[in-house]
Amino acid sequence: MEESAPMPPMTFAYNPAASTLLYVGDDAGARVLFEMATSAAIAQFRLRFAESVSEGRAYLAGLGRYGDRRRFPLPVAILLDFALATNSAAELLRWMRQTQGVETEVAIFSTSDGENQIRECYAAGADYYLVKPTDYSRLVELVRVIDRGFHSNGRQRLFRIVMLPEFRGSVHDVAAVA
């Protein structure tokens, strides 16, 4: 009997369109601007929004309408606006870090670079702290960098932002504020 050649290993291409970024923020204008920047960047990830801490919890826990994971898949990364009106971003972070099965990369997205606020976010469990770009073209570039992170096979999709010199002034590292 003739030996057949071994089957090559099956490889699967990573599909960034199957990856979801959840933006949690209650400012409708900021959400629209981020959505426009996502379109302008031709980002391939799915962008989903939650407008409050309670909606963010419902989304992550799969409660109510968020139970349909085809429409509302679990995010692989979260941008969490610090300036939520009713509850704090730190509250949602603490809930996430204490809830089994909610392990995703979280970047706080804020207009402030206040040291106490940054410390609070890292203490609550943030992976990154990003100062929101004040220029639209910079926001589009930030979305492009996030999108490229979704193409990587690693777990740290947002880490790529920290490594780019043009965003180092916008990113605060936990070690730098500890």
Domain boundaries, the chain: 16-177
Q: Are 104 and 127 in contact (CB under 8 A)?
A: no
**Separation between Cα atoms, residue 79 and residue 23, nearest integer Å:** 5
Q: Could you tell me the pTM of the whole model? A: 0.78
Domain 16-177 classified CATH 3.40.50.720? no
pLDDT of 42 above 90? yes
Confidence of residue 8 (pLDDT cuts 50, 70, 90): very low
Give pLDDT tens digits for 89-147. 888 888 888 876 667 888 888 888 888 888 888 888 888 888 888 899 999 998 998 88
Q: Residue 154 — pLDDT band, cuts 50, 70, 90? A: low
> Phi, psi at residue 91, to the nearest 5°?
-65, -45
* Inter-residue contact 26 to 81 (CB < 8 Å): yes
The pLDDT of residue 171 is above 80: no
Q: Residue-wise over 137-158: b if at least 16 C-beta within 10 A, else e? A: eebbbbbbbbbbbbeeeeeebb
Q: Check: CB of residue 149 under 8 Å from CB of residue 160.
A: yes
Residue 105 in 3-state DSSP? strand
Q: What is the pLDDT of residue 152?
A: 63
pLDDT the model gives residue 43: 92
What is the side-by-side strand order in the sheet with 171-172? 46-50, 20-24, 77-81, 105-110, 128-131, 171-172
Percent of the chain whose pLDDT exceeds 90: 33
